[in-house]
Amino acid sequence: MLLSFVDWLIYSLLGLDPGAHHVQALHFFVYDVLKIFSLLTVLIFLIGVIRTYLPEKKLKDWMSRGGLFGNFVAATFGAITPFCSCSSIPLFIGFLKAGAPLGVTFSFLVTSPLINEYLVILMLGTFGWKITGLYVLLGMVMGITAGAVIGRLKLESQLEHDLVDPSGGTNQGEANLAFKDRLKYGWDEAYSILAKIWLWVLLGVGVGAIIHNYVPQESIHAVMEKTGILSVPIATFLGVPLYGSCAAIVPVAVVLFEKGIPLGTALAFMMAMAALSLPEAIMLRRVMKLSLIAVFFGVTTAAIIISGYVMNAVVGWL
C-alpha cells in the first residue's frame, strides 16, 4: 500500500518520468523515509509499551544467561523479522534501551537484514534448498559470532548514552500502571527517539538513494570478474557501502552468478549489501561512536568474507 501511494505521488500526481535517474532516486528516498519513520514510530511505541510489563533486571538476566544463549535468541529473532539494515535500527535501539547486552543486540542487527522470509523464498526459487539452507546457516553463525565477539570487547562506553542509557526514564515493570499510562510511555519513548535521530535518518536514506540509483552494476561486475581468489573480499568491500532491499539484491546476485562469478563471491556481495551500508553507518552514528561502528563493520565484514570462501569451497558438494 505504501509503495502504491509513493508511485501515485511521484508518477501520477507530480507527473515525473519514471525512467529518469533523479526521479528514481526521489522515489527511493520518499518510499524509504516513509517506511523507516513508520517503522520507527510503531516499533518503538510498541517496545516502549512492552517494556512497562518487563522488569528491567529480569530482562537483563534472561538476555544474558547461558553464554551464547542471548546471542542465539537475538539472531533467531533477527532472522524472522523482515527488515533491511536501516529498518532494523529501531528495534536495535529498543533492545539497548531495555538493557539487553551490547553483543546480543548486535547479533540481532547482523541477522535481521541478512535473513528474512522473502529473501529465503527468492533464494529457494533461484538456488534451491541446499544453497538457501547453507546461506541461512552461515547467516545465523555470522550473527551469533559477531555479536559474541563484540560483546567480549566491552565497548559499552562507545554508546551515546543520552539515547540508549536504560538507567533513566519512567520506572518499568510496574504492575499497577494503568493501560493509558503504558500507552503514554510508549508514545513518549517514540517521540523522544525520533526527535533525536530524524536528521540522521534523512541523511542516511538520501545517501542510499544516490548510491542505489547512480552506481552502475556493470562496473561492479567488471571489477569482480578479474580478481580471482581475491574476488570474495573485493566483492564484500564493493557491497559494504551500497544499499538496497533484499528483493533487489537477490536478482543482482543471480546475474553475477550467471555471468560466471563464483556463487560464494556473488552471495558475499549480496550479504555485504544487505547487512552493511553507508546509510546504516550514518544512522548508527547517532547511537554510537565511530570506533564502535568501525568494530561492527570490521567484524561483520570479516565474517562475510569467511562465509563467501566457505560457500565457494562447498558449493560443488551440494
Neighbours of 277 (CB within 10 A): 27
The total domain count for the chain is 1
pTM of the predicted structure, to 2 decimals: 0.71
Enclosing domain of residue 78: 55-173+196-317
Average pLDDT over residues 230-252: 76
Q: Residue with C-alpha cell 520507527?
A: 40
* 3-state SS assignment for residue 155: coil
**pLDDT exceeds cutoff 90 at 143:** yes
pLDDT in tens, 265-302: 888 988 888 888 887 888 888 888 999 999 999 999 99
In a domain, 14, yes or no: no
- The answer to the question of residue 208 being in a domain is yes
Q: Is residue 166 part of a domain?
A: yes
Contact 163, 33 (CB under 8 A): no
Give the separation between CA 222 and CA 237, rounded to whole angstroms.
Answer: 14
Domain assignment present for residue 185? The answer is no
Q: Which helix (H) or strand (E) holds 178?
A: none
Q: 129 lies in a domain? A: yes
Question: pLDDT for 195-221, tens place per residue?
Answer: 877 877 787 678 767 766 776 666 666
Whether the predicted pLDDT of 38 surpasses 60: yes
Residue 6 lies in a domain: no
Using left for φ > 0, alpha for ψ between -120 and 50, and beta otherwise, residue 146 falls in alpha
Asked if residue 50 is part of any domain, the answer here is: no
As a whole number of angstroms, the distance between CA 95 and CA 100 comes to 5
Q: How far apart are CA 315 and CA 5, in angstroms?
A: 42
Mean local confidence (pLDDT), 15-26: 88
Is pLDDT at 169 greater than 50 in this prediction?
A: no
Residue 291 lies in a domain: yes
Which DSSP helix (H) or strand (E) runs through 14? Answer: none
H helix runs in the chain, sequence order: 2-7, 21-51, 56-64, 69-79, 89-97, 102-114, 117-127, 129-152, 161-164, 179-214, 217-225, 231-239, 246-258, 263-275, 278-284, 290-314
